[in-house]
Amino acid sequence: MEAEFDVTEDLVQQIDQARLLYILHGACLLFSAGAFNLIPVILNYMRRQRTNGLVQRHHAWMIRSFWIYAAMMCVGSLTLRFTVGGLIIIVGWIMMARNLYRGYRALNATEAPPERA
């Protein structure tokens, strides 16, 4: 079930900021394999406190996606000696890219992010 949100000028500005954070997350993921994703996550934490409703849910979605990705990278790195480590890293990267895409698409439609990461 998806909720509809009223679009005000303040909300448009908050959506634009969240959209830029999605793009920054994606750029960090693409160009550094997520090594610099800590920067947009800190910005997500700062922005989440100043928003509510739709945009706050998107910030929470990006934060949750990052921490799941970070956990998968840690497990993948620890098991890299085995074939499964490389697979975990690849699956984690794909999952993070998919979550960013799904969230960005939902934000552009002014919808809440998906329930599950």
Percent of the chain with pLDDT over 70: 93
Alpha helix (H) residue ranges in 33-113: 38-48, 54-78, 83-108
pLDDT of residue 6: 58
pLDDT of residue 1: 45
Q: Sign (positive/negative) of CA torsion 116, 94, 78, 70?
A: negative
Model confidence over 29-78: pLDDT tens digits? 999 887 899 999 999 999 998 888 899 999 999 999 999 999 999 999 99
pLDDT band at 116 (very low <50, low <70, confident <90, very high): confident
pLDDT of residue 7: 64
Between 2 and 32, the more confident residue is 32
Between 4 and 83, the more confident residue is 83
